[in-house]
Structure 1
Amino acid sequence: MTMRIRMLRLFARENLNFLLTNRIPRRFATLFIGWFSKIEQPLVRDVSIAVWRLFSGLDLSEAKHTRFRSMHDCFIRELKDGARPVDPNPGILTSPCDAIVGACGPVAGTELYQVKGFPYSLSDLLGNSELVETHRNGHFVTLRLTSAMYHRFHAPHDCRVERVIYISGDTWNVNPVALKRIEKLFCKNERAVIATTLAGGHPVTLVPVAAILVASIRLHFLDVLLHLRYRGPNVLACDTSLQKGEEMGWFEHGSTIILFAPEGFSMCEGVSEGETIRMGQPLMRLP
């Protein structure tokens, strides 16, 4: 009886979570929070951050600065020097961000999954036939950033960014509840496809996916902010070299990055679904 009650409570919580985050006007809510979070009025800032800390377990002990102009300023905070040591092994691809590991493993041809029983294709996500063939039978890992996490992301290896493909879309929540209910969710949401080539010639692609309240991505190597009001061009050429661990950009709040590597890469020990990983820690091994 106790187990049944627990299951009913869990089901009720999941239903409530899904209704609250996905049955509201998602675009309006996202645009509103984008505006509200940038208000620099001290009372609004302090109350907003206090409420955020209360419900998310936000820890600012590693932040480089502890005084913020706005809630947005706190969201995109930098960390103290040395807070995220980067594995220097050239045979290791490191995590680009702090995250909880979601679905990960080999790509079956061009098919992968967001959670068990919910497959999607490389073509639907990447929207580029060349990249689809590049990562056919490769490996992938889904990295979910929670709202309290460090929101900046970094180069997983010495690499060159060659282009960014921006794909407009929805802002479904990307939490586990929604992933179990909305098919091809990542393929529906706003996202940027960042194509890179590692120093050794291996292609690696990062796909930051936006979500409700989080549909804005800043990349240091582009002079535009990618967000819901951005209207093109959709393919932006780049030629930027980055060192392993160098900052690439940030999410306005927190969301998901899906990383793709070609055939021959393998997951590092300890990288499995549900585990927490930090930026700079080993993620995949190069061939």
Structure 2
Amino acid sequence: MKKTFGFRYTNEDHHLFKLVSIGHEITLDPNYHWNGMKRDGSGFIFQFTLKGTGMLRIGEEHMEICKHQAFFVQIPSDHTYWYSPETTDPWEFIWIRFEGIRGEGLRKELFGGHNNVIHLLPEAAPITLLWKLYEDVNQKQVGDRFDLSLRIYEWLLALQRFLQSKEAVSPHEIPASYRKVASHIDSHYASDISLDDLAEVAGINKYYLCKMFPLYYHVSTMDYLRNRRIEKAAELLQNPHLSIKEIASRCGYHDVSYFGKVFHKMMDMSPSSYRENASKHEDYLRLLE
């Protein structure tokens, strides 16, 4: 799945930001690979992961880009990003590519202290503005080059404000122990997982885990687990061949009645009602932390 919009400018306005491309993509293609020293043109790319994982290399540093992480790179520069064939889940992301009016200074000003990678929630202003620009482009509701430049500048200001706020936490600033807990939950949500299990994964006291995990993920460990389970349940409910009891089991709920109560609390409707209205859902459920 891919929906990309590209732009060409007939006038050389060096005082304007220029939108080169913007898009939303879901890929399982092992050939998805971009080398920052080999692609044409110049400018900047900001790419935010919605689901799945991708890989990023900047210089000698290799990083996994996970859900709710974004990277910012300049073209040309020594970087590559790609979809790993070892990954089984699709990588879904939204991106923008634009040309700036301040060159390298813009990158350093924005991401100097964040190693080009940051963690954002989907409701953060830079992401909501990016989606708004994407939808307006899709609906042909953007104006001329001056309007586009203004929209990019507005988005950059929101990004700069976010990066300078206390909300901005680089994934490298999240201690490895807490990232291990989140990753363990993402991979084992169908298993019986206790707080003691997660504390063992983190290698820290469970009381300290309860105190610190919400500072980085904005939700408790057990609520994070519940959210992942309900997200997966909502996805499986779109398969009419699976019974609700089987879906509950696949999502870590052995008591189908309890599963129904949790689902109703989160979605304000029963699993069966959600299934009946599945055609009205534009995409799989994402519970925002």
TM range (shorter): under 0.3
**Structure-1-length-normalised TM-score:** 0.24
Structure with bigger strand share is 1
**Structure-2-length-normalised TM-score:** 0.24
The higher radius of gyration belongs to 2
